[in-house]
Structure formats: C-alpha cells, structure tokens
Amino acid sequence: MISIAIVSLRGVNTGGINEDWNCWNRQRRLRFRHGRGGARQRTRNRSVNRTRKTAEAVATDIRYGVPVGRKVDLIDGDYTDLKDAGVVLVTSGVNEKTGGATDRNDPQGRLRLLAKNAEIYRDIVPKIVDAAPQAVLLVVTDPPDPLADIARETRPGATVLSAGTYLDSQRFRVHLGKHFSVDPAHVEAQVIGDHGTAQVFLWSSARVGGVPITTLLKKRGENLKDLRERIEKEVRYANITIIEGHNASQYGIGIVSVRIAEMVLKDERAVIPIGSFHKKLGVTLSLPSVVGRGGIIDVLEPELSDEEQAGLENSAKILKAALERVRDHG
C-alpha cells in the first residue's frame, strides 16, 4: 500500500493557510496505478491537522467523492497516524496574503513569512519525524527552502526536500510556450536557486524541441532582452498575480507537490529542479536532481553562464542571511 500524508495547521497562531489545494489534490491526483498490466494498488491518504475536527471534516468532505474515482483510503488523524507514511507533505504556516508577502517591490518576497513559519516548523517537525522517521518530508510552505533547513536542523537525520523551483520551472515553460505558440510540454527550461525573488532562470540552456531560444528569437527578429525582462517578471511574481485575483496561489503548487510525491513513492528516478541541502553552498536550494524512493538520489550540476553562476551564488547568500536572522531569534 502506498501512503501519503498531508500535514496542515489551522487556527493556532497561523493567521490562515492554503488548505483548499490539499482537498483538490486528493480528489484529483492522489490515485496511482502500479504493477504490471496497470494493476491497481490502494493508496492511503492521511489528513493531519492540529485541530482534529478540521482534519476529520476535510477527510469526510473528500471521502464523499471517492466512489467515482480509483480506490483510495482517506483517513483523518493525529501525528501518530503518520507512522506508515512514505511521504509527508508539510503545508502548515501563514500564507502570502495573510503574512503580507504580496508587494512586488519588497525584495524579501516570501522570506517575509520565514520567522513566523519557522516557529510553526520547530513545533510540528519533531512530532512528524517521531511518528514517521522513515518518511520523506516535502516542505511546501513558503518560503520552502529555508524552512527545509529549519526542519533539517530541528530533526537532524530526517530526509527533507523543498518543493523549491519545480513550480517556477513549469511557469517558465508555460510562458515560453505561450510566446512561441507551442505546447509547454515541449519546452525545456529550468529555474534554479531559491523559490523567491533571487531565483535564477537558465536562459542559456532553454530550448523548444531542442532548438535554443536564442536561435528561435533570431529567426523571428526578436530581442532576448525584452523577452527575458517580461517573462522573468511574470514568473517571479506569478504568485502575487494569482493572489490578486483568487486570494491564494494553490492549484499549481498542489499539482507539482503531488507529482513529487509520485516520484518518491514510485522510485521514478525523475530529474527535476527541486530543493535539497547543498553543502558547498551551505543552504537548501534547487538544482536539477534525481528523485526517487530515498528522496534525492543525485544532484546534476548544469553548465551555467557566468551570469547564471553569479545568480546562484547570490541566491544562496540571500537564503543564508535569512536563516541567520531566524536562528538569532529562534
């Protein structure tokens, strides 16, 4: 049996969180097919919340839709119910709108949420790891990269990943696909570094169907500088644009988080930009990595331009400074 748990928190010094996408995900995505010939395997999903009544209500709501989908068990519970989980998606914390992280001119961006959410992680991560020491923890809460470091420091030895720039990379692909009028599934483009304002767009290796972006732009008589400025702005502040129209950025992150869970549980050895701790850089940030049963199997360091390398180092520097601030007050 495959086992996933989603840990969320509501109503206790949080000011609000993004919880709706959890419900949407479990209805739409947490159903996997395994084995030869497409044999179906039961998936057990746990809804864990500090407020037990909330966990029960969420599980009950989703359970009513289960009969029309593939076989899935939905369980509401407490931390002790995480014991068999292979992956724990941690979504607890103050969201961007509630935490005041929706100003495009604020260089801190999502890092403005770090102090408050670090307090929450110091409280809940030990309970999660004590209940499910074998589980891979996927940090989804913003800002995920430094929170992954907080989680790792709180419980050394735990396997902790950050959702990182996997979603940013999909946004990058979508906007490039729109510009060139192609399916984004056939766009090869990555964002690395932090899931924040210092993220690094790998223009030097961006391609459509194997053709470099620069070649396509030259053929169209277009300027890379103009395209780069527009798309980087659209991707970097996509969350704010969504929040302005819908109050919370939730569906995209829900889809990619469950996709990461699939990669781990099915030992896919998929290669994606995802956050993990990098000793050389001293922080958790995203680089192309092989994802499987044990979390990160290997990190593939891409060939970067001088500008991209400097950007990656700057991203690490900003994350280090943010972590030092919360450690001083932790």
The DSSP-derived string for 42-76 is -EEEEEEESSHHHHHHHHHHHHTTGGGSS-EEEEE
Question: Residue 33, SS3?
Answer: strand
Catalytic one of 34, 175, 186, 195: 195
Radius of gyration of the chain measured on its C-alpha atoms: 19
Residues 51 and 49: their CA atoms lie apart, in Å, by 5
Q: Is 195 annotated in the active site? A: yes
Give the type of residue at 77. Answer: G
Query: ω into residue 143 within 30 of 0, thus cis?
Result: yes
Q: How far is CA 63 from the centre of its chain?
A: 25
Q: In Å, what is the CA distance from 69 to each residue of 28, 33, 42, 73?
A: 9, 12, 12, 11
Q: Which residues are catalytic?
A: 195
